[in-house]
Amino acid sequence: MPEFDSKKVADIHQQLHSHLPSDSALRIKALETLLVDKGLVNPDTIDAWVEAYSEEIGPKRGAEVVAKAWSDSKFKQKLMQDAPAAIDELGYLGKATAHLKVVENTDDVHNLVVCTLCSCYPFSILGIAPAWYKAAAYRSRAVRDPRGVLAEFGVHINNEVEIRVWDSTAELRYLVLPQRPAGTEQMGEDELAGLVTRNSMIGTDRDLGANPGRAY
C-alpha cells in the first residue's frame, strides 16, 4: 500500500487553491462570457481596453509625477513629505492614493513594493496592477528573497546596495521614486516621463536609460 504523506497532500492542496481565481474574478468572467455570448461586446475590444489602461493610460500618470519630481525640487520635497497633497496638484488624487507614501531610490538604497496580504496598489496613478503583482509567488517571495525576485526581472542589485521592502495595506500604499538617469539634464518633463516604466515605480526596474519611447 502506498505511503500517505499528509503534509505533502496539504501542500499540494494549498498550491492548487493559490492558483484559483478570486470570487470577484470568477463573477466578472461569467458576466463577460454572458455579454459575449449575447453579442453585446467583442472580447478583443475588452482585451484592448484592459491592455491600454494597464500598460499605458494608468502608468503615464505616475510617470508624470516622477518626471515633475525630477524637474522641480519644491514639488519633490512636497511629494516626499505629503504625497497625496503633491499629486492632488496634478489632479491625480484618488481613493487608492489618499494614503500614499513615496520612497526614493538612491545609489545606496533600492526600494521594492509588495502587498503580502492581498494586492493593494495605487491604481489611480499606476493603472491596473500587473498579474504578477497579485500572484502569491511574488507576494510571498518579495519579502523573503527580494534579490532573487529582482534577478528574475533582470535587475541585479549589488550586495553593497540596501534593499528595502515596503508592504502595502489598504491604509498605506507606496510609490517608488526611481533615480533620474544621467545625461537627461536638458530633457523636459514630457521627455522624462517617457523614460519612466511602471515597474520602476513598483521597484522591479531600476536603471532607466535615456531611451525615449520606452514601453511602460
Domains of the chain: 1-41 (no CATH), 59-202 (3.90.330.10)
CA angle at 66 for the pair 88 and 94, rounded to the nearest 5°? 30
Q: How confident is the model at residue 127 (pLDDT cuts 50, 70, 90)?
A: confident
Q: What is the pLDDT of residues 185-194, one digit of tens each?
A: 999 999 999 9
Annotated catalytic residue: which of 6, 22, 71, 120?
A: 120
How big is the chain, counted in residues?
216
Banded pLDDT at 139 (limits 50, 70, 90): very high
192 near 213, Cβ under 8 Å?
no
Query: Of the residues 54, 71, 118, 200, which is catalytic?
Result: 118
Sign of the alpha-carbon dihedral angle for 74, 58, 201, 85: positive
118 tagged catalytic = yes
Determine the average pLDDT of the residues in 121-131: 89
pLDDT, one tens digit per residue, over 41-93 is 788 877 776 666 655 566 999 999 999 999 999 999 999 999 999 999 998 88
The sign of the dihedral angle between the CA atoms of 177, 182, 187, 193 is: negative
Identified catalytic residue from 54, 115, 168, 200:
115
pLDDT mean across residues, the chain: 85
Q: One of 6, 22, 119, 124 is an active-site residue; which one?
A: 119
- Residues near 115 by beta carbon (within 8 Å), at least 6 away in sequence: 121, 133, 139, 167, 168, 169
- Provide the β-strand partners of residue 162: 109
54 given a catalytic annotation? no
- pTM for the model stands at 0.75
Choose among 98, 59, 103: nearest CA to 80: 103
Q: Does 119 participate in catalysis according to the annotation? A: yes
Q: Catalytic annotation on 120? A: yes
